[in-house]
Amino acid sequence: MQRSVFKRNSGYSPESQSTFTSNKQIQMNLSQKPFTQNILMISQHFNINLIIEKSVVDEIIEQLIVFANIHVNNQPTEAIVDTGSAILIIRLGFLKTIQQINFIYKNRICHTANSTPLHIIDQVKLEVKIRFITTYVTAHVATNLITSILLGNDWINSNHVHLFGDQKQLTIPDQHGQLISIPYVKPSFINYPALLVHQITLPPHSQTLVDITCQVNNAHNIIFEPYAHLISKFIFIPHTLLNINNNQAKVL
DSSP codes joined into one string, 97-129: T--S-EEE---EEEE-TT--EEEEEEEEEEEEE
Instruction: Enter the DSSP assignment of 8.
Output: S
Residue 121, Cβ density class (10 Å: 0-12 exposed, 13-18 middle, ≥19 buried): middle
Residues of the chain with CATH 2.40.70.10: 67-183
> pLDDT in tens for each of the 252 residues of the chain?
443 333 334 433 334 445 454 443 333 333 333 333 333 333 333 333 333 334 444 554 555 678 999 999 999 999 999 988 899 999 888 998 887 666 666 666 666 655 567 788 888 999 999 999 999 999 999 888 878 899 999 999 999 999 998 899 999 999 999 999 999 988 766 567 788 888 878 788 888 888 888 877 777 667 777 777 777 777 777 777 777 888 888 887
Query: What Cα–Cα distance (Å) separates residue 169 from each residue in 66, 133, 149, 182?
Result: 9, 15, 18, 5
Helix (H) or strand (E) holding 220: strand 219-225
Class of domain 67-183: mainly beta
Write phi, then psi, for 63 (nearest 5 degrees): -75, -30
d(CA 77, CA 24): 14
